[in-house]
Amino acid sequence: MSRKIFDDSVISQYGATKTNIFLLIYSRYAIGEILTTQVGWRNVIACPSGSWNTTGTRVARANLPEDVFIDNDGNIYVPDNSNSIQKWLPNATNSITVAGGSFGSDMNQLKNPIGIFVRNNNLYIVDNGNFRVQKWAYGATSGVTVAGGNGKGSALNQLSNCRGIYVDENENVYIADRDNNRVMKWMLGATEGVVVAGGNGEGRNSNQLTFPLGIYVDNDANIYIADYYNNRVQMWAKDATNGITVAGGSGGGSAPNQLSLPMAVLVDTQKNVYVLDTFNDRVQKWAPDATNGITIIGSDGRGSRPNQLQSPFGMRFDSNGNIYVADTYNWRIQKFSCGSSAA
């Protein structure tokens, strides 16, 4: 069943100030989770201090950034609204184009890229408007299709409006296939994917998802899914047929036990779950087995100050546990450093 990214109740709840966000997401989908150039990236060790500076530092200025990725050398990758992937070297004020740059379906083009993951110096791009994932080798001028690319649809060789992406050390690609309410895994060299979560229609049952967006895969091959319209994060163990709720799931809202349209999720080695709670403009940390989350970023409401966010779409750790947020409607990438809770 076709469904808007925001239904009327959501528009009513958030009012006219959210209309522009609806227009962006709806248009981008009607026509993303990221890792690093290090060979052996695994889950990030928890921030030793257990806290982050609540005032962010702008490390990149981008055109409606929807995702972000940081490699071991501190390079920042962002899918840009100009149908390209932009890369910022450490401390750079300007970016360079490392993939795409023109709108289209050829192998050297992208159409509304919204997610990025980097593994072994290769870029894996959620080329949403072409319903495919493109792999760009280091220094390449064109990509190759590693998932989808057979038009929009629900067959096992197709994708339909995707966002979250994860690539494991064996170069298997996990992709959140939003419109099909499923997460797919494409093995290296495969011509079709397998369903590893959801795929049972939209709904709130434990074997269902409704608009899955961000995904994360931990060291044990557990898949964590930002289940957008269900306002929860679901964890699917390897080979499971059902998920369990590890954050949210108490209806949409801003209480400590609630989420409101989450778009990204991360997990550290201690199994703490970090949720980009997009329509609450905050990042929530949920400890294992917790029934409530705590706000670690964005406790001062929606806005453009360094301690605020405005409809953020993407989030990543770097290898030191610092958190980077694609602060979409502030047109910036914010870094929140590990080690201080100072405002």
pLDDT, greater one: 256 or 17: 256
The verdict on residue 234 lying in a domain is yes
- Average pLDDT over the chain, rounded to an integer: 89
- How far is the C-alpha of 173 from the C-alpha of 92, rounded, in Å? 30
pLDDT digits (tens, 9 = 90+) for 176-196: 999 999 999 999 999 999 999
pLDDT digits (tens, 9 = 90+) for 43-75: 676 787 889 999 999 999 999 999 999 998 999
Structure confidence at residue 341 as a pLDDT band (50, 70, 90)? low
The verdict on residue 206 lying in a domain is yes
**What is the DSSP secondary structure assignment for residue 30, as one 8-state letter?**
H
The verdict on residue 198 lying in a domain is yes
Give me the pLDDT at residue 42, please: 52
Which CATH number covers residue 187? 2.120.10.30
The answer to whether residue 280 scores a pLDDT higher than 70 is: yes
The answer to whether residue 33 scores a pLDDT higher than 90 is: no
How many domains does the chain fold into? Answer: 1
The verdict on residue 265 lying in a domain is yes
The verdict on residue 2 lying in a domain is no
SS3 helix, strand, coil % of the chain, rounded to 5?
10, 40, 50
- How far is the C-alpha of 282 from the C-alpha of 245, rounded, in Å? 19
The verdict on residue 343 lying in a domain is no
The verdict on residue 300 lying in a domain is yes
Q: What is the pTM of this model?
A: 0.89
- DSSP per position, 32-99: -----SSTT--PBPPPTTS-B-SS-EEEEE-SS----EE-TT--EEEEETTTEEEEE-TT-SS-EEEE
**What domain range is 161 assigned to?**
8-336
**Which of 46-50, 117-121, 319-323 has the least mean pLDDT?**
46-50
- How far is the C-alpha of 338 from the C-alpha of 296, rounded, in Å? 11
pLDDT, greater one: 36 or 42: 42
The verdict on residue 1 lying in a domain is no
Give me the pLDDT at residue 291, please: 97
